[in-house]
Amino acid sequence: MININIDAYTYINGNKKRSGAAQGGVFCRTVLLLPLILGILAFSACGRDDKTGRTASQSGIDSRSGAVSQSGAAGESKTALSGIAGERRIISTAPSNTEIIIGLGLGDRIIAADKYSLALPGLPAGIREIDFFYPDQEAILGLAPDIIISSETNAYGGGANPYKPLEDSGIELLFVPTSRSIAGIKRDIGIIAEVLGAGDRGEELIRIMEREIEEVAEIGRSLAAFPSAPKTVYLEISPFPDPVTTGGDTFLDEMIGIIGAVNVFADKSGWIAPGAEAILERDPEVILTNVNFLDDPVGEIKARPGFDGLRAVREGRVYLIDADSSSRPSQHITLALRQMARSVYPEEYAGLKDE
């Protein structure tokens, strides 16, 4: 069983709200993030195709759904379903949480989800769509869910958790804050797994994620011996005229460090909105973007006034990476990590493949 004692979640079970300092459990805190950034993280997949094959079946994850698998008696691969407390009906209201639930092998238990989750492989066909910011409370009650797993991002439509009115309904509610670190993502997986009675599978999903990260990190650490390392990177998650990037203290900043590079805005904290002048002054060697709603995000960056003088643009080192896996705090950040590694150090990571 996963033993987690943190103060980052709200869990309401049977009309009883667990909060404050206690031993092992899920509690409540306030996380201050820019609503704009939360919107970007939540909606990055809008209009995109499924990402099949994003995790490794060799690692014990079903390549279609991302679910943890185990070997059957006859040697076949099957989704592990032992240890689940009952046939619980789940509503998931944000794609990062939905990805985790699917990764635990419980996608078939989801009876409704937000529209950004509906295209994910591993969900039942024809499930009910829940409005991301303004869910219909009566419709939700009519679906008779056992548990609703919501996200901090849901709160930024009306400024408050839209599922709070259901606290006295008898439905279990888990409110998951937006994690800014890889450790936080692992905690999210552990907490969601525990609440859903899938603690063992949560541990396995975390182990697979850690193994995939370490595969990249091992190469990243070896790059210290290369005279060309570390390369400087600017990662853009929202385009001009109001660009947004990551400073330090985020999982994206951690990922840049893991591959053996340096974030040019690492001296800033959290998600920031730098102007063009600041980007030009820091002159990154590589530019990464996960902006997926422009026809040509790489070309747009190259065409900006003054950007032709940047080293990254002069040397043709501007790259598009997957928006979903680089924005959503779930186990799938390892796909973006691989793409980042190969973009920044193509020779050193030439043997690294998407699993």
- What pLDDT, in 10s, does the model give residues 162-197? 888 888 888 999 999 989 999 999 999 999 999 999
Residues 260 and 317 both lie in one domain? yes
Residues 32 and 141 both lie in one domain? yes
User: Which pLDDT value is given to residue 169?
Assistant: 87
Residues 230 and 336 both lie in one domain? yes
Q: Which CATH number characterizes residue 81's domain? A: 3.40.50.1980
Residues 311 and 166 both lie in one domain? no
**pLDDT tens for each residue of 102-136:** 999 999 999 999 999 999 999 999 999 999 999 99
**Number of folded domains that form the chain:** 2
Residues 51 and 166 both lie in one domain? yes
Q: What's the domain range around 259?
A: 222-344
Residues 47 and 147 both lie in one domain? yes
Residues 147 and 267 both lie in one domain? no
Residues 117 and 143 both lie in one domain? yes
pLDDT at 40 over 90: no
Q: Within 104-144, where are the H helices?
A: 137-143
For residue 213, being part of any structural domain is answered with no
For residue 173, being part of any structural domain is answered with yes
User: What is the spatial distance between Cα 88 and Cα 149, in angstroms, rounded to a whole number?
Assistant: 12
Residues 140 and 191 both lie in one domain? yes
pTM: 0.80
For residue 151, being part of any structural domain is answered with yes
Cα three-residue angle 172-175-176, rounded to 5 degrees: 135
Cα–Cα distances in angstroms (integers) from residue 116 to residues 47, 152, 250, 345, in the given order = 9, 15, 23, 32
For residue 142, being part of any structural domain is answered with yes
**pLDDT tens for each residue of 213-266:** 999 999 999 987 776 669 999 999 999 999 999 999 999 999 999 999 999 999
Q: Decide which of 145, 171, 206 is a domain's last residue.
A: 206
